[in-house]
């Protein structure tokens, strides 16, 4: 796409800049309206400035992505009611061999959880358990919290439903659920291991000075679970589900994942599973649906429109034309340049806008080299844009969720921008590099 008129470029850039500032710094003093309102403002400005027409704005909203995101949110809410995340918390402390072993378990469980239920959901529900573990073992929770956030980001790259940018990539590229998993799973497995190793090395002294209380937390959680058994009717009145409903929800979730692997439409499959759980509950679904993050869905609508408007200015295409000769994936230096561009842009403009801005262009460039390279380019984009979230505290919503929940639990549990960067910078570079080699070597 050629560069637009001077007026269109300037006004489109202003609208996108306002969206970006409010997305990264939602409480700026001159306009503290938050991310969601900021995305709506960016979208409206694109229309008011006539960068795009109202019809083009409506067409820019990706309904399959919104449907899949809504469906997985509802499924996660019913899984939380079915005590799925409480059972995962038990795994953190069962037969623990010490703080280092516990940190490894947190990394593994959070990676698996995020791959199946999205990284933001995993962080939201698991942070509380990790703070309990830290208090029970008389240790500061920073290494555990960093392990949760970073491993959730890495693990979420394994599946199309692990995070929003993967949803977009899977739908735009047409890559099946199975191909996506096979292409990224080796990188994820090695990445989680290397990330945990870096954490252990950085916090070796802190993790070694722990007074161990083996199985104490495990026994505490099991006791709480057993004590709640006789009060099943009371639990249901508080929003929990009885045992047969829990079993049906677990089986339904497995069925949803099997349908994804079989190549069925992911958006309609997730919506069908969500509706099935609501019918199975045989109660008013209003309280569960109220827990859905509608503000996030609205944020995505505004972001889709804003990014589409910025694309129509021609600026991304012009910048990519300058970088494309140096970022071709048929040689190592080109892959390195492409990874650096994605890494920097994901931390400046966030990973989802980066995928929307670069996705089609990176795929087209790879197709020009060889049609077989297209899927590999999409997988590289998915891997780098997701792991890029570990670079800084602002790089991923999962990081902010963990940080804010920990700070709410105790004022001293504050992960600062610089303390996160001290770990995130080396971890992101090392994990990204190793994963790139594995993704590129995979024969799609």
Chain centroid to Cα 239, Å, comes to 27
Sign of the CA dihedral 391, 68, 362, 381?
positive
Q: What is the pTM of this model?
A: 0.74
Which has the closest alpha carbon to 215: 85, 86, 91? Answer: 91
pLDDT digits (tens, 9 = 90+) for 229-283: 444 444 444 455 678 888 899 999 899 888 887 878 888 998 999 999 999 888 8
pLDDT of residue 238: 46
Angstrom distance (rounded) from CA 110 to CA 92:
10
Least confidently predicted of 93-97, 261-265, 325-329, 345-349 = 93-97
pLDDT of residue 395: 77
pLDDT digits (tens, 9 = 90+) for 78-121: 888 887 767 766 666 666 677 888 889 899 989 998 998 788 77
pLDDT of residue 241: 64
3-state helix, strand, coil in the chain (%, to 5): 80, 0, 20
pLDDT of residue 385: 93
pLDDT of residue 91: 66
pLDDT digits (tens, 9 = 90+) for 273-315: 999 999 988 889 998 899 888 887 898 899 889 988 988 898 8
Higher-pLDDT residue of 122, 226 = 122
- When the pLDDT of each residue in the chain is averaged and rounded to a whole number, the result is 83
- Write the DSSP assignment of 312-362 as a string of letters: HTTHHHHHHHHHGGG--TTSHHHHHHHHHHHHHHHHHS-HHHHHHHHHHHH
Residues 357-382 have a mean pLDDT of 89
Angstrom distance (rounded) from CA 26 to CA 13:
19
How large is the greatest C-alpha to C-alpha distance in the chain, in angstroms? 71
pLDDT of residue 234: 46
**Both tokens of residue 416?**
């600062």
pLDDT of residue 281: 86
pLDDT of residue 53: 95
pLDDT of residue 232: 45
Angstrom distance (rounded) from CA 321 to CA 339:
16
CA dihedral (191, 197, 199, 201) in degrees, to 10, reads: -150
pLDDT of residue 50: 94
21 within 8 A of 281, measured Cβ to Cβ:
no
């Amino acid at each position: 796409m050629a560069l637009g008129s001077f007026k269109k470029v300037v006004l489109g850039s202003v609208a996108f800049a306002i969206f970006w500032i409010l997305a990264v710094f939602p409480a700026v003093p001159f306009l503290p309206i938050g991310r969601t309102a900021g995305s709506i403002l960016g979208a409206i400005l694109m229309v008011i400035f006539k960068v795009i027409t109202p019809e083009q704005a409506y067409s820019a909203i990706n309904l399959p992505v919104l449907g899949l995101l809504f469906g997985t949110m509802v499924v996660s809410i019913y899984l939380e009611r079915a005590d799925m995340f409480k059972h995962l918390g038990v795994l953190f402390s069962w037969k623990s061999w010490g703080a280092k072993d516990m940190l490894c378990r947190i990394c593994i469980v959070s990676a698996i959880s995020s791959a199946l239920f999205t990284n933001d959901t995993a962080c939201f529900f698991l942070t509380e358990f990790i703070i309990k573990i830290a208090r029970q073992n008389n240790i500061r929770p920073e290494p555990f919290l960093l392990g949760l956030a970073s491993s959730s980001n890495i693990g979420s790259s394994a599946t199309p439903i692990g995070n929003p940018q993967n949803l977009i990539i899977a739908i735009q590229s047409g890559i099946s659920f199975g191909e996506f998993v096979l292409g990224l799973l080796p990188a994820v497995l090695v990445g989680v291991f290397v990330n945990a190793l870096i954490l252990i090395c950085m916090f070796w002294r802190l993790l070694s000075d722990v007074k161990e209380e083996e199985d104490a937390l495990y026994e505490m959680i099991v006791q709480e679970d057993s004590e709640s058994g006789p009060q099943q009717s009371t639990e249901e009145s508080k929003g929990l589900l009885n045992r047969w409903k829990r079993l049906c929800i677990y089986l339904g979730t497995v069925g949803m994942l099997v349908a994804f692997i079989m190549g069925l439409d992911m958006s309609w499959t997730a919506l069908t599973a969500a509706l099935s759980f609501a019918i199975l509950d045989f109660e008013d679904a209003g309280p569960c649906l109220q827990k859905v993050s509608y503000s996030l869905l609205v944020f995505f609508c505004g972001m889709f429109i804003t990014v589409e408007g910025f694309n129509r200015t021609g600026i991304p295409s012009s910048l990519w034309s300058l970088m494309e000769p140096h970022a071709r994936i048929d040689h190592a230096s080109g892959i390195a340049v492409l990874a650096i561009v994605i890494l920097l842009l994901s931390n400046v403009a966030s990973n989802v806008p980066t995928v929307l801005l670069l996705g089609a262009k990176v795929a087209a460039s790879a197709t020009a080299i060889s049609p077989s390279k297209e899927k590999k380019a999409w997988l590289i984009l998915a891997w780098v844009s997701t792991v890029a979230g570990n670079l800084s505290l602002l790089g991923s919503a999962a990081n902010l969720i963990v940080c804010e929940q920990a700070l709410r639990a105790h004022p001293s549990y504050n992960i600062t921008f610089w303390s996160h960067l001290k770990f995130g910078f080396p971890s992101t570079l090392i994990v990204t590099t190793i994963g790139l080699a594995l993704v590129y070597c995979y024969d799609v």
